[in-house]
Amino acid sequence: MSTASSENPRTAELAVSGMTCASCVMRVEKVLRRVPGVESVAVNLATEKATIHASAAVSDEQLVAAVAKAGYEAAPILPDAPPADASAAASPAFDRELAAVFASALLTLPLLAPMFGLELNPWLQLALASVVQFGFGARFYVGGYRAVRAFAGNMDLLVALGTSAAWGLSVYQMFAHGGMTAHLFFEASAVVITLVRFGKWLETRARRQTTDAIRALNALRPTTARVRDRHDPSREREVALADVRIGDIVVVRPGERVPVDGIVREGRTHIDESLITGESLPVAKEAGARTTGGSINGEGVIAVETTATGAETTLARIIRLVESAQAEKAPIQRLVDRVSAVFVPAILAIAVVTLAGWLLHGASAETALLNAVAVLVIACPCALGLATPTAIMAGTGVAARQGILIKDAQALEQAHAIRVVAFDKTGTLTVGRPSLVAFEAAPGQERAHVLGLAAAVQRMSEHPLAKAVVAAAGATDAPRFDASAARAVAGRGVEASVGARRIAIGSGRWVAELAADVPAPLAARARELEAQGNTVSWLIEQIDGGNAVLALLAFGDTIKPTARAAIERLAGMGVKSALVTGDNAGSAQAVARALGIPADLVFAQTLPDDKARVVAQLKASTKGVVAMAGDGINDAPALAAADIGIAMASGTDVAIEAAGITLMRGDPVLVADAIDISRRTYRKIQQNLFWAFVYNLIGIPLAAFGLLDPMFAGAAMAFSSVSVVTNALLLRTWRAQAGAVEDARAGKPITRPA
C-alpha cells in the first residue's frame, strides 16, 4: 500500500479481532504506540476498532503487523467503507457462535448429574469434559498463549488457567483412584467455559444494538440515482450513485430518497429529513432550497442540482462524526486503563496467594485449587472494558437520532457539567432573517437615492442584514447602482466604491472611529429604535475632508418559537443562560427580557475576540463547564474558547468545525437535550463502572475464602458483562421532553416588544 509524504498527518482505522477485555485493549494500544510516527491511539473494545493518528509515513501494513505481534488480528478500514449493517441475527459468525454455545451446553449438562446424586462413568465425564475443554475452550488457549507470548495477561489467560486447573485436578483424581468414581470437578471447568462463551455471545448481541444509529444512517444511503442527460435534458438514465458528478441534475420522484446533496432547480415538494435533523415535520422545498442526501421526498417531482457526492455529503459527514465519537475514549476511561494495566497480574498473584493460603491452613489440594480457580474466573475484566464505550456508543447514537451530533467522547462526557451556556443572538436565539424596519435619510439627502447606495454596497455581501437592505430597495423605486472594490471590516461593517464615491455601512462603533458627525434628529431616532430592541447601522460616505452620515438603518428580527422554552428548561436543569452578541445594548436587552435572561448576563457590542474574552470571564467566574452556542464565523473564536462549543448546522462551516457538538436543526431546545443526554450518559458510565468494580470487589474475596464455587463465579462474570451492556442500552429509550417545548413549536413565534 502506498503512503503519502510524511509531512502530513493521517488517521488510520483498524478492525481488531480477538480482544476480550480491558487488558487486551491496553496491550493493543501499547504496541501501536511503539510504532515510530504514531502520535496517539484509541482502541474501543465495544466496536473492536482502533483509531490511530500518525504521520503519513506510517503504513497500514506496519500497524497491522504491530497488532499481529501482540497476538491479535487486524485489517485496515477504508475511509469510505460503510460499517457492517447486517443485523445480529443475519451474521453467519454470530450464528456459529450461538451454535457452539448450544453444543457446549449439551455436552456439559450430563456432567451435572453427580451434583444431583446420579452416577456418571468417570471415563464418559473425561470424554465430555475434554471436548468442551479443548474444543469449545480452544479460543481461550489461543488468546492466553498470545498474551503470554506478549508478556501480558488477559481474560483468556485467566479462563484457560482456571479451567485447566479444574480439568487437570479431575484427571489426577480419576487416575489416582484407578479410574473409579471419585470426587471429580469436570463439571466446574465445562460449565465455566460454556457460561463464559454464552456471556460473550450475549455481550456481542447487546453490543451490536449500540451501533443501531450507524446502521440506521447507512440505510439512508440510496445506491442509484436518476440523472438527466447533459446533452438531452428530455432523457433520464439510472446510474450508480458513485457515478453521479457535481453539477448533474438528479430527478427525484415522490416517495424516493434524495440521493445527493443539492439545490432544487425545478418543482415543489415537502421532504422528510427526520432521520438526519431530528425534525419530525416534513420541510417545504421549492426552487433554490437545499436538499440533503438520504431524506425522503414527499408528494412532488423535483429536479436537484448536485452540489456534493460520496464522502462530502452531509449524511457521510454525519456518519463520520458519530463513528468518530463512538471510537474515541472518554476522559473517565483513563481510570479504567490505569486499573487494567495491573489488573490481570494482580489477579494471578491473588490466585497464587489463595492456593498457598488454603494449603498452609491444611486444606486439601482440590479445595485450594478450586478456590484459586474461582478467583481466576470471577476476576475476568470484561465488564470493566465495556463500561465506558458501550455507554458512549448508546449516548451518541440516541443523540444522533435527535439531530445532535457529538464529535468526540470528551464533549459528551464533559457536557454533563455545563453550568452556563452563552448564546449568540442572531441565527441562534432569533430566526436570523432580519428585515429593514426603518430607513431614514439624513437632512438634505434624498431617501430613495441613499437607499440605492446602501443596496449597492450590500449586494456585495451575503450577510442577513445585507439581504434585508437589498430586499427593501428592490421593493421601492430606489435607483440601482453598481459597486466595486468591496471590503469587509471585521466587527464593524463593509465598504465599497459606488462610482467615484466611497460608501460604507457599519455599526455605531465604526461611526465613532471614523469621527462621522451624526445629525441630532438621527441620533435621537437611533436611541428610540435601539430601545425597542432593533439593531441600528449607519450609511456613511468617506470623504477626505471628513466622513458624513447619509442615513440610518434599523433592523428587526424574530425570536425563535422555542427559544424561551429552551432558556426555561435550561434554568430548570440548573444551567444559566447568557447572551453574547455584536448587536447594540438595546437590542440585546430587549431579546434578553423576552427570553428571561438576566441583565447581568447580557454582553452587547462584542467583536469576535471580545466574545472569546467574555467566555473566558464566564469560565473564570463559574464553578463548572461553560458552553458557547452560535452559528456564525464571528462565533468561531468563542466556540473554540468555550469548554464545549455548540454550533447550529444551519450556520457556517467555520463555526461547525470549531464546535464539539453540532445541532442539525436550528432549535435552541436541542442545547438542553444535548446536556440532558450527556448527564444520562455520564450516569450510565458511573453506574457501569460501579457494577464492574463491585462484581470484582465482592466476588474476589468470596472466591478466595472458598465461598464461591467456580461455576457460580463463571455465571457471575458473564452476567456482569451482560448487565453492563444492557444498562447502557437503556439510554436508547431516551425521549425529548414534551410540554412547553411542543407548545412553543406549535404556537406563534415570540416577537420582540414594540
Known catalytic residues are 424
CB atoms under 10 Å from CB of 137, counted, come to: 27
Name the one residue in this structure whose C-alpha cell is 439581504: 467
Question: Over 526-544, what HEC string results?
Answer: HHHHHHCCCEEEEEEEEEC
Half-sphere exposure of residue 465: CA atoms within 13 angstroms, side-chain side = 23
The dihedrals phi and psi of 509, each to the nearest 5 degrees, come to -60, -45
Contact 428, 648 (CB under 8 A): yes
Please tell me the distance from the alpha carbon of residue 687 to that of residue 679, in angstroms, as a whole number.
Answer: 12
> What strands, in cross-sheet order, belong to the sheet with 483-489?
435-441, 546-556, 535-543, 501-506, 493-498, 483-489
Residues linked to residue 484 through DSSP beta bridges, in sequence order = 497
Coil, strand or helix at 209 = helix
Contact 682, 347 (CB under 8 A): no
Going from the C-alpha of 267 to that of each of 234, 258, 293, 301, 574, the distances in angstroms are 16, 14, 17, 6, 47
Q: What would the DSSP string read from start to end of 492-503?
A: TEEEEEETTEEE
Range 381-405 burial, b when 16+ CB lie within 10 A, else e: bbbbbbbbbbbbbbbbbbbbbbbbb
Contact 18, 333 (CB under 8 A): no
Going from the C-alpha of 181 to that of each of 175, 177, 364, 441, the distances in angstroms are 10, 8, 18, 110
Q: What is the distance, to the nearest Å, from the Cα of residue 232 to the centroid of all Cα atoms in its chain?
A: 44
Name the one residue in this structure whose C-alpha cell is 458624513: 548
Residue from 512, 494, 517 nearest 443 by CA: 517
Residues linked to residue 405 through DSSP beta bridges, in sequence order = 662
Backbone CA torsion sign across 278, 283, 289, 295: positive
For the record, the C-alpha cell of 369 comes out as 485449587
For residue 478, what is the DSSP state?
A: P
Q: What would you report as the CA-atom Rg of the chain, rounded to the nearest whole angstrom?
A: 33
Contact 41, 51 (CB under 8 A): yes
Contact 235, 277 (CB under 8 A): no
Pairing of strands 269-272, 283-285: antiparallel
For the record, the C-alpha cell of 441 comes out as 435619510
For the record, the C-alpha cell of 631 comes out as 452559528
Please tell me the distance from the alpha carbon of residue 670 to that of residue 214, in angstroms, as a whole number.
Answer: 20
